[in-house]
Structures are given as structure tokens and as C-alpha cells.
Structure 1
Amino acid sequence: MTEIDLQEGSIMWNEFGLTWGDAGRVVLSAVGLYALVLLLIRFMGQRTMANLSSFDLAAAVALGAVVGRAILGYTPTLVAGALGLVTLLVLQALTGQLRRFPGGLAAVNNRAYLLMAGSEIVVSNLRRTHVSEAEITARLRVAGIRSRKEVACVIFESTGEISVLRAGFPIEPEFLANVKGAELIPASYLAVP
């Protein structure tokens, strides 16, 4: 091979590939931004990613584009994109494994919060979770609730979903494990251990 052939091969590799420095930067950027996104979701609360409205979806797409561009930097090549994608998927798998341990689960997931205890709304938890009374009313309607008397409790789950447990059947203690404010549920709604 001549020197010209080597230079042409090098130019071609730079067009479709990465240098080791670029690869390291893509991996470090992916790790850093993944950690930042997890921290932001952790501190901003479950509402950040739950039940996306059309506005929320547009914002999520825009955020994804910003994060993707920041990961790839000035090297948006096929190899850089593949490396960034593989890095994010590995981080997601590692985070999933971390959730298997109690300390890891607490570090990654937000807590569940009691929003209604019987027919009473827990206002302090509404503020903490950024849920409005109108949202609770809407969720009660979706669950087929026609009166607050039908409600044993409403829980804002760690996933950002809102669960409604009906009165009439005692709630077993494991269904309330790790729910902040569960002690406010009237004893008449609870199963005797």
C-alpha cells in the first residue's frame, strides 16, 4: 500500500469511525448525562416522567435530542451513535441490577406517597408530589369511584402513577410498605395482621 492509500483509508475511517479519544469522550458523556438525568428525576420527583401529556412528550423529545447531541458531540457518526446507545443500555441494565438491593432501590426510586386516607386528602403529600386535587378527582373517576366514601386510600406510586384502593376489602400491610403517610389510613380499612 502506498502512503496515499493509507491516508485515504484514514480519512474514510474518520468519516465512519472514531478515534480512541472520541470513543472515551462518548462513553464518559453518556455516563455523566445518564447520572445527571437520574439525579434530576430523583430530585424533581416521579411527576417528571409519569403520564406524559402532549406538552410533556414534546419536552421529553427535545430533552432527548439535547442529551443525544451532548453525548455524541462533534462526532455524530454511526459508530459514535452505536457506542452511545450501547453505553446507555449497559447503564440501564446496571441500574436495574442495582434495584435488586434495598439500598440501591432507595437510591434510584422515589418513595410512594399517600394522597388520600379514606375520604380525607393528605394536603402535605399533595404539595410534596405536585399533584392537584383536580388530578385526584380525575383519577377517582377513571377508577369508577362515585363518592369519596368508596375510597380506602389513594397512593402516588414511585412510578408516578396514582393508585386507588377501594373501601370494602381490608388492605394487607405489604400493600402499604414504604408508602409515606400510610399510618394515616383509618384502621377500619386495614387487614388485621
Structure 2
Amino acid sequence: MQDLWYHLGITPAGAVGVVVSTLTMYFVFGAVLRLWGQRLYSSPRSVDLAVVTVLGAIVGRSTMGHVPTLAGGLLALGTLGAIEVAFHGLRRLPIPQLRRPTPRARAVVLAVAGKVRTEALHTYGLTMPMLWSAMRQAGVSHPSQVALAVLEPQGRISVLRTGQPIHPRALMGVKGSHTVMQQLREAGHLHTAPLSTDETGGPSGGSAPVPVPPTQAVGGQAGQHDG
């Protein structure tokens, strides 16, 4: 029985080590995702997937202590659950600093009024084929049909087509929304009339997520054909 406990159990000192390691890696990994999560989620490149896999392996191995055991794993899971419950309870307290929304990754404009922002694509590890994939899913066959393409915080690409009026509220949470709003207004895509009762829930239709095609017709030239 003692041998069985050696392989499945954990010592008091080891238990403390697992709790401390789990707490530390929880906050460190959370910080990593907050800084680079949007880029990692958006890019399907094998290198980025490998980075995510390695990060997960490091976190898992670091929390289990010198010798991974069943008791250590259960203790790590219990610690993670306790952290989540504790934070959830703290957010419900009437303390402004705790109830204040946590800053999250903001949506990034990839194309506006038919013009693709190639620097934004490169910054987030995206390519023109990936952007074209999202545009095709939105029924777009030419860059000039794109009123707005946005990389969402979760790594998906949303596309709004020309011909559908865009309300300023559709730009909530988007980086540089004032500049984008001005570009949409100049292109005649911005709809500034008050929202009706049916529209208050947010913009509808024409939205799609994911990647895009030909390399030829983009990079800022909206009127060029792909060939």
C-alpha cells in the first residue's frame, strides 16, 4: 500500500509546491495570452501552433511538481478551480476597482472601404490567402465589395460588405475606431441614423469569420482585379 501511495500520492511539501507552481503559472500564462493571445489565435501557421503546444506542455509540467502523480494532478485542478471561484466572488463585491472590466484585446481593422491594411496583416501573422478565405465566406468576390474587415479578439475575421449601412456602434472595441469611422463616412458606408428597436441588438447580416485568396489584388489598392 505504501508503494501504491508513492506512485499516486503526494507529500505535504510536494502539495505546497504544486499549489505555488499552479498559482504562479496561472498568472504568467494569463499574462502571455493577454499580450499575444490574439495573434496566436488568429494564425494557423505550424510555428504558432507549436508555440501554443509547447506553452501548454510547460505549464502542465511545471505545475505537477518533481514527480507527477494522480494526487498532484487533482490538487493542481482543484487549485485552478479555487482561483476561478475566488475571482468570480471578488468581482461581485461592491468595490469599483474589482468590478471594473478587465482590459481585453481589441478588434483590429484589416481592410476598410476596399483597402487592405497589409501592415495589420503582418503584425498579426496573417496572409492574403487567409483574408480572402474570410471574404469568400462573406460572399465577397472583389476587394471593392468590402466595407470593413476586422480581426476579432478571439482571432476570427469578420467581414461587412458594401451596400449595408454600418452604424458607429459596430466599431465599438475596434482600435482606431475614430479614424475608421471617418474613412467609412467618406466612402458612404456609415449609417448615423438612430437604431430602430430591431437593430439595437447590433449589426446584422454580411458578417463572416476566417481567412482570404489571391495575393494580387491587395495591399491597399482597392480597385485592382486579381487576374
TM-score range for the pair, normalised by the shorter chain length: 0.7 to 0.9
C-alpha distance in structure 1 between counterparts of 2:173 and 2:99, whole Å: 11
Q: Who is 1:39 aligned against?
A: 31
Report the Cα offset of residue 40 of structure 1.
1.7
TM-score (norm 1): 0.77
When the two structures are superposed, what TM-score results if normalisation uses the length of structure 2? 0.67
CA distance in 2: counterparts of 1:151 and 1:82, whole angstroms:
50
Unaligned runs of 5+ in 1: 1-7
> Deviations 1:51-108 (Å, cap 9, x if unpaired)?
64566445433432222111112131111001112223444566678899774431xx
Unpaired runs of at least 5, structure 2:
93-97, 195-227
Task: Decide which of 181, 184, 187 is 1:186's aligned counterpart.
Answer: 184
Identical residues among aligned pairs (%): 33
Q: Is the 8 A contact 1:46 1:158 kept in 2?
A: yes
Distance 1:123 1:55, change over 3 A: closer
Q: Between Structure 1 and Structure 2, which shows a larger proportion of helix residues?
A: 1
- Partners in 2 of 1:95 and 1:56 — Cα distance? 30
Q: Which residue of 2 aligns with 1:140?
A: 135
SS of 2:67 mapped into structure 1: coil
What is the RMSD of the two structures over their aligned residues, measured on CA atoms?
A: 3.0
User: Do 1:112 and 1:180's aligned partners in 2 also have CA atoms closer than 8 Å?
Assistant: yes
- Aligned pair partner of 2:155 in 149, 160, 177: 160
- SS for the counterpart of 2:102 is helix
Match for residue 82 of structure 1 among 69, 74, 79? 74
Aligned length: 183
- Give how far 1:45 is off: 4.4
Q: Name whichever of 93-102 and 135-144 sits farther off.
A: 93-102
AA of the residue aligned to 1:135: M
Deviation at 1:157, TM superposition (A): 0.7
The Cα shift of 1:126 comes to: 3.1
* Matched letter for residue 149 of structure 2: V
- Deviation sequence 1:103-125 (CA, Å, 0-9, x none): 4431xx21111111110123443
